[in-house]
A and B are shown apart, each in its own frame.
Chain A
Amino acid sequence: MRPTLVFIRHHEIDGRLYRHAEELPPRALSPETIDQLLDQGILTEVPERRSLYRLFAPFSDTKETEPFTKEELTAYALSQ
């Protein structure tokens, strides 16, 4: 799974403006385009940030998922 991709500067994709430090939604761009933007310094990989899109996959219509921590589930989620 690719680390969270974050914009370093403002960038527009399909009429939507992404601001600095905003996360790129998974599968919004092709891998080749992503690699180009990484090379240009428009995007950067930030492994220390979890992807909000993957954490909330059902609500972000993302196929990839990322788990919550046990503490988060205990504190906020409904139990079994």
Chain B
Amino acid sequence: MQEQPVGTSTANKAAAYHEAAEREMALNDALAGHSPKALELPVLRQPLLPGKFQERLDELDKEIYGRGVAISRERLLSLGRSRFTEMLTKDRIARSLQRVVSTGTDLTSWPSVEFSFAEAGALTTSVRKRRNAEVNAGIGEDREAAARIAGFEDLWKTTQEPASVRNVLAFHDAFSSLVLGQSLLERLGDGRARSYSLAGGAKAEFFTDWLSALDGAHFTVKLNDPLWHIMAWLAGETTSPPTTLAQDFFRVRVPDREQLTVADATWRGFLLGHDGWSLWNVVGRGARKATHVELLETWGNELARRYRAIQAFHDETRTAFNRPVSGPSYCQVLRFDAAAHRGFLDKAVQTLMSQLSGLLALKLEEMLPGTVVGRFQSCWLLCEVNSARARNYPRDYVDPLIGEWLEEVFPGVRFFHEQFTVTELPG
């Protein structure tokens, strides 16, 4: 039996007993290993979607599928043959350096390429391995995850044989583009190719390789940097997007293509809330080269200072994913659940991108009925000139009307006309 406190009032005694009882309950809870509470996911802003938006979009996607894209079979075959020859050349170039790629290496297969690089001792990265002390302390997991080479998209991480890496990736790009080109041919019937990938799909970057096979007059409508619009709206950011990021980062007046790519990838990574080794991974995949993680941290901090609302949004979202892992309720140890956080954010952004792309398509369809024949998640639309109205419609009127409408759905963010690109394609 516990000794009663001496010389205290009844109320103080009761409070002391109550506190002791709570401590004992917390200790019992901790020892019993109760499962942590389920995370309460943060509630994000929702766009003011028009009535029956999803039904209208599903209907439009069905129509886009039914319309198909007009493709010239002869032009597609000619383009395909030419690209196939180019791919064979790239295969030959990749095999000319025999230190890594051997006769038996199948350049189309990641396991085969991985084996060849590993056998040549070329699958090493510059990322320092975790020490035992770090493993025991539970730190450095993000660094370890970033260092993994799991596919072609990670081959840039190797420090050895840069020429072989470049050649293998060049071949792989040609291969993947040709796979799409061949699938376009397979879906070609009555002069039109039909696929659900053309109605809200995500393969715009491969499809643009084959635009010269289109039959008839077409034009494209693209919202530049849709990710910026979504993140600025989610976070309530009022600062304008950057226009000279590469110049600022690299302290040059005329950045080269590589510098522009690195700057763009860093911007995208920042918008998506990546930092540290996660940002290193994202920038590397985008630019296909490793950038010093300290340099990226410097750039990330500069962006965080400039775009405080976006940084604050990410900081707040992260705190919702701090999961208690041990300790009593009054003194808990929290651990950041990076996987859950990334999954939540990526899904939310993807949903909003899809909605934005759908809104773009619905509005354009309203202005020029029957023209939209391709809609991609990156907010890129392919339109066919199928009527006099579509032919004569002034292209510089397209974006202001769409922009104004989008501003009603995403209040607080501006869709200026220079943020759209309308491009006529040669017929």
List of B residues within 8 angstroms of A21 by Cβ? 95, 98, 101-103
Pick from A19, A20, A23, A79: contact of B197, CB under 8 Å: A79
- The distance in angstroms between the C-alpha atoms of A61 and B179, with both chains bound, is 16
Q: A58 near B184 (CB under 8 angstroms)?
A: no
Cβ of B20 under 8 Å from chain A = no
Interface residues of B in 53-111 (CB under 8 A from A): 77, 80-81, 83-84, 87-88, 91-92, 95-96, 98, 101-106, 108-109
- The distance in angstroms between the C-alpha atoms of A61 and B77, with both chains bound, is 10
Pick from B104, B112, B183: contact of A77, CB under 8 Å: B183
List of B residues within 8 angstroms of A22 by Cβ? 88, 91-92, 95
- The distance in angstroms between the C-alpha atoms of A73 and B177, with both chains bound, is 11
Q: A79 near B182 (CB under 8 angstroms)?
A: no
Interface size, B (range): 35 or more
Q: A55 near B108 (CB under 8 angstroms)?
A: yes
Chain B, interface SS category: helix
Q: Identify which of B101, B103, B112, B178 gathers the most chain A CB atoms within 10 Å of its CB.
A: B103
Pick from A8, A44, A68: contact of B179, CB under 8 Å: A68
Q: A59 near B195 (CB under 8 angstroms)?
A: no
Q: A78 near B95 (CB under 8 angstroms)?
A: no
Given A58-B77, A59-B84, are A77 and B182 also a contact pair (CB < 8 Å)? yes
- The distance in angstroms between the C-alpha atoms of A58 and B179, with both chains bound, is 11
Cβ of A72 under 8 Å from chain B = yes
Pick from A8, A59, A76: contact of B83, CB under 8 Å: A59
Chain A: CB-nearest residue to B82 = A59
**Tally of contacts, chain A with chain B, CB under 8 A:** 92
Interface residues of A in 54-80 (CB under 8 A from B): 55-56, 58-61, 68, 72-73, 75-80
Q: A78 near B112 (CB under 8 angstroms)?
A: no
List of B residues within 8 angstroms of A59 by Cβ? 77, 80-81, 83-84, 178, 181-182
List of A residues within 8 angstroms of B91 by Cβ? 22-23, 52
Pick from A8, A19, A52, A80: contact of B196, CB under 8 Å: A80
Cβ of A12 under 8 Å from chain B = no
Pick from A52, A58, A77, A78: contact of B88, CB under 8 Å: A52
Q: A56 near B182 (CB under 8 angstroms)?
A: yes
- The distance in angstroms between the C-alpha atoms of A32 and B277, with both chains bound, is 57
Cβ of B185 under 8 Å from chain A = yes
Query: Which of the candidate stretches B31-39, B140-148, B198-206, B405-413 sits at the interface with the other chain?
Result: B198-206
Cβ of B187 under 8 Å from chain A = yes
- The distance in angstroms between the C-alpha atoms of A46 and B107, with both chains bound, is 13
Q: Identify which of A6, A22, A55, A78 gathers the most chain B CB atoms within 10 Å of its CB.
A: A78
Q: B108 near A50 (CB under 8 angstroms)?
A: yes
Interface residues of B (CB under 8 A from A): 77, 80-81, 83-84, 87-88, 91-92, 95-96, 98, 101-106, 108-109, 112, 176-185, 187, 193, 195-198, 201, 203, 206
User: Can you list 28 A-B contacts with CB-CB less than 8 angstroms, sorted by A residue number?
Assistant: A20-B95, A20-B98, A20-B103, A21-B95, A22-B91, A23-B88, A49-B105, A50-B108, A52-B87, A52-B108, A56-B182, A58-B185, A59-B77, A61-B81, A68-B179, A76-B180, A76-B183, A76-B203, A77-B179, A77-B180, A78-B187, A78-B193, A78-B195, A78-B201, A79-B197, A79-B201, A80-B187, A80-B196
Q: A19-B92, A77-B180, A80-B195 are in contact. List 4 more A-B contacts (CB 8 A).
A: A48-B104, A52-B84, A59-B81, A78-B193
